[in-house]
Amino acid sequence: DIQMTQSPASLSASPEEIVTITCQASQDIGNWLAWYQQKPGKSPQLLIYSATSLADGIPSRFSGSRSGTQYSLKISRLQVEDTGIYYCLQRYSNPWTFGGGTKLELK
């Protein structure tokens, strides 16, 4: 199974700051990576697919990038509503596996 190691596990940042969350894949998964946001008490929402493509309706403050087997989600100009837990997902091979999550809190 492909392991997705996500970091940091948690972070706290101020509005308007820039934050970056990373996922390290245990093997090559190409661009078969997605990012999700889960707000408290809600179901996950797709933010980024194919490593760098923005999902419909998602603000351009969110962006994804890849360097080898490391994937990053960058959130620019943090807003209060960005509070939540962020997960990566590899969809390269079965079983599809998620990262452990990054809890983002706004100061």
Interface ranges with other proteins (CB under 8 A): 32, 34, 36, 43-46, 49, 55, 87, 89, 91, 94-101
Shortest spacing between CB 16 and other proteins, in angstroms: 29
Shortest Cβ distance from residue 13 to other proteins (Å)?
21
Identify which of residues 34 and 78 has a Cβ nearer to other proteins in the complex.
34
**Shortest Å distance, C-beta 7 to other proteins:** 14
CB 6 within 8 A of CB 25: no
> Cα–Cα distance between 62 and 49 in angstroms, integer?
12
Q: Look at the block and give the residue holding tokens 């996922």.
A: 23
Alpha carbon 9 to its chain centroid, in Å, reads: 12
Nearer to other proteins, 14 or 43 (CB): 43
- When the beta carbons of 13 and 55 are compared against other proteins, the nearer one is 55
Give dist(CA 19, CA 41) in Å, integer: 23
Taking the least distance from each CB to other proteins, the nearer of 25 and 34 is 34
3-state DSSP assignment of residue 73: strand
